[in-house]
A = this chain, B = another copy of it.
């Protein structure tokens, strides 16, 4: 039986790679994709998702719902729209395969993403929700429908941090997706009652900062249409990292891989009691871990929590990079070797 995924995405460079992994993996059925503002405006995210579906040779059977065009509070200071991955977020080569099409900008699904999510998790109680953009759509779903909190089988989130490593600016300790909607991140981590696994920024950061065994760009060098598209979609970001002697490693891909097979993909994780700072001048959007609770637990012990509304979240600290890389090779080469 395939793993059902619902993907919530801001539709840029590594999202596109990650979505392709989900679309190509033989164990996965993508039930729907919802889009959200983030690195590009939500309209562009929708367009990129539709183009990616076409690049993967899928024929329109996956509904795409357009979501929030702005964060809950819509504050200028939280905006994360950026041309870091190109103005269109996927390398700025609209005429390359699959050529960008004005129809891509139309969401195929009816109604806004938040309402679609509420309905989808009811219709597919066995689906895993994977979020690889700001969490606005989920937060709205929680605000509109109390039962949403316990409805998904599992939620996997790319976002946040556990060591305060920020990646938006030098005066912010927030990770990009959480920076893009701190209130949404807070609501989602605090209110979801189903199992939650977070793939924090540090999962990417520590890999990119260290020498490592994997060539993260190798899978893009196959001479296939999909490899070419993903190479284009990631080229601007790759150039930036190469310029300082680092690799553009996997990020959103880890979240999708975790959603596909958490047992094999996650090598180490921590069960952390966390909160999101909303008021700090330079810490707005940062995840704050209760390390005191960790220090006074015996090694290996997971202590019960006495105080509501605190809850534990599973943070991925080490993932199986070799496996994910193998999967990405299978995606871009078309070899089908996912195992």
> Interface of A with B (CB < 8 Å)?
68-70, 72-74, 76, 112, 114, 140, 143-144, 146, 163-171, 173, 183, 186-187, 190-191, 205, 208-209, 244-246, 273, 275, 277-284, 286, 288-299, 301, 309-310
Contacts A112-B144, A144-B114, A245-B299 given; indicate if A292 touches B164 (C-beta within 8 A): no
Q: Which residue of B lies closest to A164 (CB)?
A: B164
A284 contact set on B, CB distance < 8 A: 280
Give Cα A73 to B181, complex, Å: 12
Contacts A187-B73, A288-B283 given; indicate if A244 touches B277 (C-beta within 8 A): no
Most buried by B among A168, A170, A244, A310: A170
Q: Which residue of B lies closest to A244 (CB)?
A: B298
Inter-chain contact A278/B281, CB cutoff 8 Å:
yes
Inter-chain contact B286/A164, CB cutoff 8 Å:
yes
Contacts A277-B280, A282-B277 given; indicate if A291 touches B167 (C-beta within 8 A): yes
| Copies held by the complex | 4
A187 contact set on B, CB distance < 8 A: 73-74
Q: Determine which of B208, B282, B290 lies in contact with A170 in the assembled complex, contact meaning CB atoms within 8 Å.
A: B290
Inter-chain contact B173/A164, CB cutoff 8 Å:
yes
Contacts A144-B140, A299-B246 given; indicate if A167 touches B292 (C-beta within 8 A): yes
A191 contact set on B, CB distance < 8 A: 74
Contacts A73-B186, A187-B74 given; indicate if A168 touches B292 (C-beta within 8 A): yes
A186 contact set on B, CB distance < 8 A: 73
Give Cα A72 to B74, complex, Å: 13
